[in-house]
Structure 1
Amino acid sequence: MPVPKKRTSTLKNHIRKNIWKRGGYCATLKSFSVSKSRSIGNSKSFFVKQINKKTLE
């Protein structure tokens, strides 16, 4: 016969939620850092094909 599960404590729920939120926060920091280094020109992980103005004319 089915038995009802025990209730999860609010402390465990808060811990799990904070871990989940921290993952998003870390991803946000990383993407901001990459975009900042890309805009400044210090990025070494992105290769962008540069177009010469002389070849377009």
Structure 2
Amino acid sequence: MAVPKKRTSRSKKKIRKNFWKKKAYWTALKAFSLAQSIFTGNSKSFLCSKTGNSKGFLCSK
């Protein structure tokens, strides 16, 4: 007969949730930093040129 698993404690659940949130925070920070460097023209990993049309930048890696 199947036995239900024990419930996860609140503290363990909060630890796991905070770890996930921290991982998402750093990923968002890196993406924002890359966008900022592309916008200012200081990017070393992307070659960007501002196009004449209203679409903005044309980038290639």
TM-score (norm: length of structure 1) = 0.76
Residues 34, 43 of structure 2: 8 Å contact kept: yes
CA RMSD of aligned residues (A): 1.7
Q: 1:50 and 1:9 mapped to 2: Cα distance?
A: 53
Unmatched 5+ stretches in structure 2: 52-61
Q: Which residue of 1 aligns with 2:13?
A: 13
Higher relative contact order (CA 8 A, sep 6+): 2
Q: Aligned partner of 1:29: which letter?
A: L
- What are the Cα deviations for residues 7-39 of structure 1, in whole angstroms up to 9, with x where unaligned? 110000000101111111111100110011111
More strand by share: 2
More helix by share: 1
Q: Which residue of 2 aligns with 1:55?
A: none
Give aligned pairs, total. Answer: 51
Structure of larger gyration radius: 1
Closer, same or farther in 2 for the Cα pair 1:47/1:32, shift >3 Å?
same
Unmatched 5+ stretches in structure 1: 52-57
